[in-house]
Structure 1
Amino acid sequence: MREASRRRAREEARRRARREHGIVKNVTHWINGTAVAGAGRTADIFDPARGEVAGRVRLASAAEVDAAVAAAAAAHPGWRDTSLVKRSQVLFRFRELVHAHRDELAALISAEHGKVHSDALGEVARGLEVVEFACGVPHLLKGGFSEGVSTRVDSYSIRQPLGVVAGITPFNFPAMVPMWMFPVAIACGNTFVLKPSERDPSASLLLARLWTEAGLPDGVFNVVQGDKEAVDRLLEHPDVKAVSFVGSTPVARHVYETGTAAGKRVQALGGAKNHMLVLPDADLDLVADSAVSAGFGSAGERCMAISVVLAVDPVGDELVEKIVSRVGKLTVGPGDDPRSEMGPLVTAAHRDKVASYLEVGVAEGAELVVDGRLTPVLGGGAAAETPGFWLGPTVLDRVPPGSRVHTEEIFGPVLAVVRVSSYEEGLALINGGEYGNGTAIFTNDGGAARRFQNEVEAGMVGINVPIPVPTAFYSFGGWKASLFGDTHVHGTEGVHFYTRGKVVTSRWLDPSHGGVNLGFPTSA
C-alpha cells in the first residue's frame, strides 16, 4: 500500500509538471520576473523513454538574450545594495520552496532527461546542499581589518559582486548544476542569466518561479532557453562580467577562449574519463558494487561516472565475474516506473553514438562480456528493439590500454575493464590521460591510498568511494582538459569567482596632523 501510494504521488507530480511547466506545451524564457514566449526558432523536447516529442522549447535570439541581460543589469544596483541578512532570508525561503517541490522537480527531470525518479530526487538534494551553503555566505564575505598599519592609518579588505553573471549548463543535471552556480552568485549580490540545456529545459522555469515566490526581486534571476546562438551572445555581451560553464571539453575550450577574449572571468568545466584503480587487497564485493553503481547510475551520463576499471593482477577474472553478476540483476525501464534502476539515454543521436563504441571496442581487441543492446526493458523487449533511446549496461573486458574505448569520453553505460600488472602501471595510465576530473582507488592499504592521493593527477579523488563529488562547502572541479580557468565551482572558490577583492586604506585626521609632506609614504 505504501509503495502504491508513493507511485500515485509520483504520477500526480509528473502530470502536474506536464500541465504547469511546459512539457506538453512550448517552454519559454523567464525574463524580469515573468514568462516570455519569445519568437522565432524552436526545438523538440523528447520523452527519452518513449522516443516521442513531448513539447517544444523556444530558442533565444540575440535580442532575447539582450533583454535578459538588460533586466539583470537594471536589477543589479538594488540587489547589490540589499543587506546580507535580507539576501540570506530570500535564500532560506528559496531553499524551503525547492524542498517542498522536490517531487515535482524530479518528475520534470525524469520526463525530459530519462533518469529514474530516485536519481532525479538525489540530484535535487545535491543542488539543495549548495543553496544551504549559500544561505551562510555572509560569513565568507567577511573581509579582514588591520588597525594602525601606519600612524593613524587602517587597512581592510572587502569582497564585492561582479554585476551580471551567466551560467551555461548541461543536459545531464538540469537542476543540480544550475544550483551549483546561481545560489552562490545571487547570495554574493550578483544578478544571474541562466542558459540551460535545450534538451531538458523545464526544471529551470520551475526554479525561476520558486525564486519569485521566495521574494527575489524581478530581474535578479533570468532564464534564456537556447542553443549556440544564445551561448555566443552571452559570451560576447559587454554587460556580462563572468560565465560559468559545464559541458564537453571542446565546448568548454570554446567558452573559455571566447569569453576571456571578451574580457570576462570564465570557469569552464569540461569532460572526463574517470578511472577506478583496484589493488589486489581490495574488498572485491565492495568494488563490484561500486563499479556498477558509479558506472551505470543515470545511464552513465555523469561527468563523475566511473568508466574505466583498472584491475591489478591477479583480481581481474574474479572482479569481472562479480560485476557481470550484478549487472545481470539491474532493471532497466522508464524513469517514472518505481521498479526501474536505470533509464534511457537523453536522445537517439546520443544513444547511437554511445552504442557505436561497442563495435569499436571489439574491433580494438576488447571482449564484449555484457551487450547492453540485448538488455530487456520494462514494458518492451530488448533495448535495441524497444521504442525510446535505450542502451542497457555494457561491460567490455580486456580493453587494450590506449584504445579509443579506454581514452575517449563515451558518456553512457559502457564500463571498460583494463588489466594492469601493478599500481605503477595503473597510475601511469590515469596520469597519462587527457582528462583529470575524478578518480578512485580501492584498497585496504592506507599507505597505498595516501601515496595515490598524492601522486594522481586529478581534481577529485575517492578512497574506497567511487564518485567523490565534494560536498557543497568544498569546490567541484578537475585538472587538465577537465577544467579551463583558475577556480572550481561552488564552495569558497565559487564565492571568490563571483566576487572581486578590494583593499581600503583609510586615515581619519585629528587636529595634530603634521601638514604637507612630499616624502614617499612609509609605515614608520
Structure 2
Amino acid sequence: MYKIDHYIGGKNVAATGGRSAPIYDPSTGQVQGEVGLASTDDVDTAVETAAKAFESWSDTGLMKRVSIMFKFRELLEQNRDELCEHIVKEHGKVWDDAMGELTRGFEIVENACGIPEMLKGEFSEQVGSGIDVYNTRQALGVVCSITPFNFPAMVPLWTIPLAIACGNTFILKPSERDPSCANVMARLFSEAGLPDGVFNVVHGDKVAVDHILKHNGIEAVSFVGSTPVAEYIYHTGTANNKRVQALGGAKNHAIIMPDADIDQAVDAMIGAAFGSAGERCMALSVAVAVGDNVADEMITKIKDQAENIKVGCGMSAGNEMGPLITKEHCARVKGLISEGEKDGAKVVLDGRTFEGPDGKEDGYFCGPTILDNVTKDMSVYKEEIFGPVLVVVRVNSYGDAVKLVQDHEYGNGTCIFTREGDIARNFTRKIKVGMVGVNVPLPVPLAFHSFGGWKRSIFGDHHMYGPEGVRFWTKIKTVTSRWPTSIMSGANLSFPSSD
C-alpha cells in the first residue's frame, strides 16, 4: 500500500480535511494505494503558492524557461519506465500502449522548447507620423488543468509544458483514479530546476473541482472528460470570469467505401477500436460500411483478428489489451452491449463472456466486442461507450454515411477509407468534425498542430496544444508608441488617424 499526497511549493503536502480515496489495480480489483482528496483549504494553499511564484516566473527570461523545459524532457526519458509502470498498474493499459502514450506526451514538451518562436509578436513601423505598433503575448497568471483517467501522463503533458513555457504558474488536478504520474512529473520538474510553486499538483474530486472553478485567483481552466462534465466545467468556469477550454465526449465514425483497401481498413480499426480497451476519446467506435458486401467482408476479417487479441494484465508480456478502469465502468460497458442486443443488434463477438486470466478473475475485464446491424436510434450508437466495443452500421451510399456523421451530436474525430481522391476531398471539406483522417484511423494531430473537436465534443474557443494552445495560455497586448522628437509641435484634439 502506498499513499499519494499533493505536491505544492516544491514538496509533498498531506491533504487536510481527512478525506481520501482508494487506488485500485484494475487487473485484480484489489486496492493498491490511497490518494488524499483536497479540501477547499488545500486548493487555496496551491493558488496562493502559485500566485507568489508567478511574480518572478513571468519575468524569467525565455531562454531560461526553455533550458528548464529541455532538462525536463531529458528527465522524462530517463524515467520513462517508472512513468509507464504507474500507468499500467493504475490505469490498466498494456505496457506498449502506455509507452505510446508517453511518446505522444513527450512530443508536446519538445514543442514547448520552441516557445520563443511561438511567442513572437508582430511589428508595424510608421503607421502614422513617428508612430510604431507592435503586439506581444503575455502569460495569464495562475492556470489549471483538470485531466482524465484514460491518459494520466499524456493529457497533462498536453497542457503543462506550453502553459509554463508561456510564463504561467500551474495547478494540475489529475484523476484520483490514477494519480501517481502527476507526482512523478512534479518531482522531475523540480529536478529540472523549475522554481518551487510554478507547478503544483492537487488531488481531489468534485469538491476541489468546484472550488477551482469559482476561485478568483485562477485565470484559466483546461478540462478533458465526458460531455456532461465538460459542459458543466465550461459554464461554471466562464460564469466566474475564467477562460475555459473543455473537451468532451466522442463517437468517432470510420466510413469504409466499396473501393477501400479492406485489409488496411481492418488492421487500422483493430487498433483504433480495441486499443487501450476502447478508453480513448479518439477510439473508432463506429464502422460505417457502404454496402453489404463491404460490411460482410470487413466484419469477418475484424472478427478473425479481434477474437485472437490477448487480453490480460498490462504488466504481463505479450498481452495486447488490459482491463477497464473500474468495476462500475466495466458493468456499464457490458450493460450497453446487452441493451444493443435487446434493441436488435447482432452480437458477432461477445466480450461479456470473457473470463479474467488466471489469478485475475476479479479484474475489470471485457473482451473485444462487435455489434452488427446497429441503427442510429440504439443507445450503443448514440452514447459514448468508452470500452472495447465496435458497432457496425450498414448504409447504401456515401451520402447516407456522411449524413450519419453530420447528424451525430459529437464531432471529435472521423475518418474515411477510400482510393477516390474526389470523395476524400469532399469528405475532408464538408464533414462537421474537428479532426479528420483519410485512410488514417486515429487522426490525432502532432504537437505543432492542435487537438480538438467540434459540436458537443468541445466547449470553448481554443483547441489544445500547438498554436491554439499558445493562444489559450496567453493574452495579447498591443502597444502603440511615439517618441518625442524636435519635429513635433502643438496638440491635436481630433480622433487619432494614420496621417
TM-score norm. by structure 1 comes to 0.94
Look up the match of 1:271. 249
Look up the match of 1:130. 108
Give the CA deviation at 1:374.
2.4
| Residues 355 and 365 in structure 2, CA contact (< 8 A), matched pair in contact too | no
Give the CA deviation at 1:376.
5.0
The CA deviation string for residues 364-421 of structure 1, in whole angstroms up to 9 with x for no partner, is 100011111223543258xxxx211110101111112221111111000111011111
Look up the match of 1:358. 337
Tell me the distance in 1 between the aligned counterparts of 2:253 and 2:202. Answer: 36
Tell me the distance in 2 between the aligned counterparts of 1:520 and 1:478. Answer: 43
Tell me the distance in 1 between the aligned counterparts of 2:477 and 2:2. Answer: 47
Q: What SS does the aligned partner of 1:182 have?
A: helix
Look up the match of 2:19. 41
The CA deviation string for residues 442-462 of structure 1, in whole angstroms up to 9 with x for no partner, is 011111111111111100001
The answer as to 2:366 corresponding to 1:391 is yes
Which residue, 323, 346, 351 being the options, matches 1:372?
Answer: 351
| Residues 364 and 400 in structure 1, CA contact (< 8 A), matched pair in contact too | no
The answer as to 2:151 corresponding to 1:151 is no
C-alpha RMSD over aligned residues = 0.9
Which residue, 490, 500, 504 being the options, matches 2:479?
Answer: 504
The CA deviation string for residues 12-63 of structure 1, in whole angstroms up to 9 with x for no partner, is xxxxxxxxxxxx2111100001000123100010000011000111000000
The CA deviation string for residues 324-345 of structure 1, in whole angstroms up to 9 with x for no partner, is 0001111001000111100000
Tell me the distance in 2 between the aligned counterparts of 1:233 and 1:276. Answer: 40
Tell me the distance in 2 between the aligned counterparts of 1:463 and 1:519. Answer: 57
Which residue, 184, 188, 212 being the options, matches 2:162?
Answer: 184
Look up the match of 1:234. 212
Which residue, 115, 120, 136 being the options, matches 1:142?
Answer: 120
Written as runs of structure 1 = structure 2, the 5 A alignment for 1:48-197 is: 48-197=26-175
The CA deviation string for residues 111-138 of structure 1, in whole angstroms up to 9 with x for no partner, is 0000001100111110000000000011
Mind listing any 5+ residue stretches in structure 2 that lack a counterpart?
A: none
Which residue, 454, 471, 489 being the options, matches 2:429?
Answer: 454
Counting aligned pairs with the same residue, the percent is: 56
Written as runs of structure 1 = structure 2, the 5 A alignment for 1:326-365 is: 326-365=305-344
Tell me the distance in 2 between the aligned counterparts of 1:104 and 1:519. Answer: 66
Tell me the distance in 2 between the aligned counterparts of 1:474 and 1:436. Answer: 18
| Residues 68 and 193 in structure 2, CA contact (< 8 A), matched pair in contact too | yes
Look up the match of 2:460. 485
Look up the match of 1:7. none
| Residues 331 and 377 in structure 1, CA contact (< 8 A), matched pair in contact too | no
Q: What SS does the aligned partner of 1:44 have?
A: strand
Tell me the distance in 1 between the aligned counterparts of 2:80 and 2:284. Answer: 27
The CA deviation string for residues 271-304 of structure 1, in whole angstroms up to 9 with x for no partner, is 0000000000111111111111100000000000
Tell me the distance in 1 between the aligned counterparts of 2:244 and 2:154. Answer: 19
Aligned length: 497
| Residues 475 and 488 in structure 1, CA contact (< 8 A), matched pair in contact too | yes
Look up the match of 1:516. 491
Tell me the distance in 1 between the aligned counterparts of 2:9 and 2:314. Answer: 33
Tell me the distance in 2 between the aligned counterparts of 1:112 and 1:476. Answer: 25
Q: What SS does the aligned partner of 2:48 have?
A: helix
Look up the match of 1:5. none
Q: What SS does the aligned partner of 2:321 have?
A: coil
Which residue, 21, 29, 32 being the options, matches 2:6?
Answer: 29
Tell me the distance in 1 between the aligned counterparts of 2:496 and 2:45. Answer: 49
**In structure 1, what residue type is equivalent to 2:256?**
V
TM-score norm. by structure 2 comes to 0.98
The CA deviation string for residues 290-319 of structure 1, in whole angstroms up to 9 with x for no partner, is 111100000000000000000110311111
Tell me the distance in 2 between the aligned counterparts of 1:401 and 1:202. Answer: 40
Mind listing any 5+ residue stretches in structure 1 that lack a counterpart?
A: 1-23
Q: What SS does the aligned partner of 1:173 have?
A: coil
The CA deviation string for residues 78-133 of structure 1, in whole angstroms up to 9 with x for no partner, is 00000000000000000000011111101000000000011001111100000000
Look up the match of 1:303. 281
Q: What SS does the aligned partner of 2:463 have?
A: coil
Tell me the distance in 2 between the aligned counterparts of 1:417 and 1:511. Answer: 77
Look up the match of 1:422. 397
| Residues 90 and 216 in structure 1, CA contact (< 8 A), matched pair in contact too | yes
